[in-house]
Amino acid sequence: MASTDIEAKVVVDARGLLCPMPVVKTAKAMKELQTGEVLKLISTDRGSVADIPAWAESTNNELIEWHEEAGDFVFHLRKGQGG
């Protein structure tokens, strides 16, 4: 699925932030969403590439896709049951 086709309910802009902020901000924002809704995260922290998939797996949220876009790392995450 092309990332432009995914409609995000909320966008978390974590550009310029380092560990642990991208994960912490994502977790906080995800709390406000309903199951099935999508969060878009934009990060410049290279650690996010490992951390966000690990966070998603560990919290029962789904990483739909991620890609690099002009130096930013863009993630689309769908809130899972109890995630």
Partner 1 sequence: MYTSPRAKLVNVSTIGNPVLDEEAVRRIVRSEIEHADAKDPGTASAALIASKGTLDWAYPPLILATTAASLGMEASIFFTFYGLNIVHKDYDRLLKVSPLGNPAMPMPVPMPNLVLGLPGMGPIATKMMQSKFRRKNVTTIRELLDLARDLDVGLIACQMTMDAFGYKADDFIQGVRFGGAAAFLAKARKAHLTLFI
What residues make contact with partner 1 under the rule CB under 8 A?
16-21, 23-24, 26-28, 55, 58-60, 80-82
Q: Are 71 and 36 in contact (CB under 8 A)?
A: no
| Spatial CB neighbours of 9, under 8 Å, sequence gap ≥ 6 | 33, 37, 38, 39
CA distance 83 to 71: 29
**Shortest Cβ distance from residue 62 to partner 1 (Å)?**
8
Closer residue to partner 1 (CB): 2 or 31: 31
Residue 19 is a catalytic residue: yes
**Shortest Cβ distance from residue 36 to partner 1 (Å)?**
13
Active-site residue list: 19
